[in-house]
């Protein structure tokens, strides 16, 4: 008699959802080869092929589609039952998956995620950073972290930090031979580090004066798509950069970078941890929400 593993069924749904063995393997926390072998074994046990595989794409066969359609509700019920049992745990354990973007990941890592791991060492946390907004439920995440205006309206949201700001900075060496910009239009006379968005478009630097928004297309010698790389270029005096304040605060305080156009960068909406409503969430899920609310109260008290 064939013995089927729950994780194999979860793997089928992950591949169906992501359309890729590699992406599904990342979601499952396993290697692509291990996932492929598990699916091949399951297909052998079932006696049918679930996926059409080519070097460029993966798609469900007819049998695979029927399998996914019928197994999905049953798996939801099973996982709900497991959640109900886990919710009774005295010590949180298991795994949590969080989707965010790189800058937010850096902002929440120490006060929220690392603090959580120190309090609950039996929990494992998987953080995925990506520029595009995703459906955290469809993609198998427990939580998402995004700027407040980007949180879907059907989600529960917890603001988890103070108001945020952008910062325009350059090195003392760069400004030694150049007059710092006084207004955003002065940037046209400066070398600026340009930023490419996940969709391929160029990021326009955002400013505000007396409540009126202003966006600037800047020019410069290099275009990058990650703040940590842009910071290196600015520290090397290649040009002026535009960052989240938290990414360069230590450099400014240490004198490695100089801040300019400060009055033109107003506060932004806070980051929010968000998640769907769950009837009986696991203990680890509840503990993470409790810590986020604790962090929110602390931020309000400052």
| Cβ-contact 251, 243 below 8 angstroms | no
pLDDT at 134: 87
**CATH code linked to domain 94-163+269-301:** 3.40.190.10
Q: How far is CA 157 from CA 132, 151, 271, 274, in A?
A: 19, 7, 9, 4
264 Cβ neighbours under 8 A, 6+ residues apart: 168, 183, 184, 207, 208, 209, 214
Rounded mean pLDDT, 90-102: 88
Better pLDDT: 301 or 14 = 14
118 vs 123: CA distance, rounded Å:
10
| Cβ-contact 275, 156 below 8 angstroms | yes
CATH fit for domain 166-264, picks 3.30.70.920, 3.40.190.290, 3.40.50.300, 3.40.1180.10? 3.40.190.290
In this predicted structure, the answer to whether residue 79 has a pLDDT above a threshold of 80 is no
In this predicted structure, the answer to whether residue 72 has a pLDDT above a threshold of 70 is yes
pLDDT digits (tens, 9 = 90+) for 266-280: 888 889 999 998 877
pLDDT digits (tens, 9 = 90+) for 111-142: 999 999 999 999 999 999 887 888 898 888 99
pLDDT digits (tens, 9 = 90+) for 28-40: 778 888 888 888 8
pLDDT at 251: 97
| Cβ-contact 195, 242 below 8 angstroms | yes
pLDDT at 88: 66
In this predicted structure, the answer to whether residue 49 has a pLDDT above a threshold of 80 is yes
293 vs 60: CA distance, rounded Å:
41
Rg over alpha carbons for the chain, rounded to the nearest Å, is 23
Q: How far is CA 138 from CA 3, 18, 32, 72, 99, in A?
A: 28, 9, 20, 12, 12
175 vs 168: CA distance, rounded Å:
13
Best-predicted range by mean pLDDT (42-56, 228-242, 261-275): 228-242
Rounded mean pLDDT, 189-211: 90
Q: How confident is the model at residue 259 (pLDDT cuts 50, 70, 90)?
A: very high
6-81 has which fold? Arc Repressor Mutant, subunit A (1.10.10)
Q: How confident is the model at residue 63 (pLDDT cuts 50, 70, 90)?
A: confident
3-state secondary structure the chain: CCCCCHHHHHHHHHHHHHCCHHHHHHHHCCCHHHHHHHHHHHHHHHCCCCEEECCCCEEECHHHHHHHHHHHHHHHHHHHHHHHHHCCCCCCCEEEEEEECHHHHHHHHHHHHHHHHHHCCCEEEEEEECCCCCCCCCCCCCEEEEEHHHCCCCCEEEECCCCECEEEEECHHHHCCCCCCCCHHHHHHCCEEEEECCCCCECCEEEEECCEEEEECCCCCEEECCHHHHHHHHHCCCCEEEEEHHHHHHHHHHCCCEEECHHHCCCECCEEEEECCCCCCCHHHHHHHHHHHHHHHHHHHC
In this predicted structure, the answer to whether residue 302 has a pLDDT above a threshold of 60 is no
| Mean pLDDT of the chain, nearest integer | 88
In this predicted structure, the answer to whether residue 245 has a pLDDT above a threshold of 80 is yes
- pLDDT more than 90, % of the chain: 46
pLDDT digits (tens, 9 = 90+) for 147-171: 998 999 999 999 987 778 999 999 9
- Of residues 148, 125, 120, 145, the one with CA closest to residue 134: 145
pLDDT at 301: 59
- Of residues 260, 216, 214, 255, the one with CA closest to residue 235: 255
What are the domain boundaries of the chain?
Answer: 6-81, 94-163+269-301, 166-264
Same topology, domains 6-81 and 94-163+269-301? Answer is no
pLDDT at 15: 87
């Amino acid at each position: 008699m064939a013995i089927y593993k729950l994780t194999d069924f979860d793997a089928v749904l992950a591949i169906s959802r992501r359309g890729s063995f590699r992406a599904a393997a990342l979601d499952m926390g396993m290697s692509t080869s291990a996932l492929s072998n598990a699916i091949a074994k399951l297909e052998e046990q079932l006696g049918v092929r679930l996926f059409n595989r080519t070097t460029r794409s993966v798609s469900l066969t007819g049998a695979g589609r029927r399998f996914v359609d019928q197994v999905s509700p049953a798996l939801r019920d099973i996982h709900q039952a497991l959640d109900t049992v886990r919710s009774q745990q005295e010590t949180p354990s298991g795994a949590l998956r969080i989707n965010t973007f790189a800058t937010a990941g850096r902002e929440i890592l120490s006060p929220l995620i690392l603090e959580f791991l120190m309090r609950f060492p039996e929990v494992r946390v998987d953080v995925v950073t990506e520029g595009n907004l995703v459906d955290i439920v469809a993609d198998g995440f427990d939580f998402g972290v995004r700027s407040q205006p980007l949180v879907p309206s059907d989600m529960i949201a917890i603001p988890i930090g103070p108001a945020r700001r952008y910062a325009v900075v350059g090195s003392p060496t760069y400004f030694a031979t150049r007059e710092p910009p006084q207004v955003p239009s002065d940037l046209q006379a400066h070398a600026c580090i340009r930023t490419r968005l996940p969709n391929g478009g160029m990021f326009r630097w955002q400013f505000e004066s007396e409540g009126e928004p202003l966006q600037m297309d800047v020019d410069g010698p290099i275009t990058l798509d990650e703040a940590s790389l842009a910071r290196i270029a600015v520290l090397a005096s290649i040009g002026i950069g535009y960052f989240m304040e938290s990414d360069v605060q230590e450099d400014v305080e240490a004198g490695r970078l100089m801040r300019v156009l400060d009055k033109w960068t107003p506060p932004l909406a806070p980051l929010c941890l968000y998640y769907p409503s769950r009837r009986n969430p696991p203990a680890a899920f509840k503990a993470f929400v409790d810590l986020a609310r604790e962090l929110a109260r602390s931020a309000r008290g400052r």
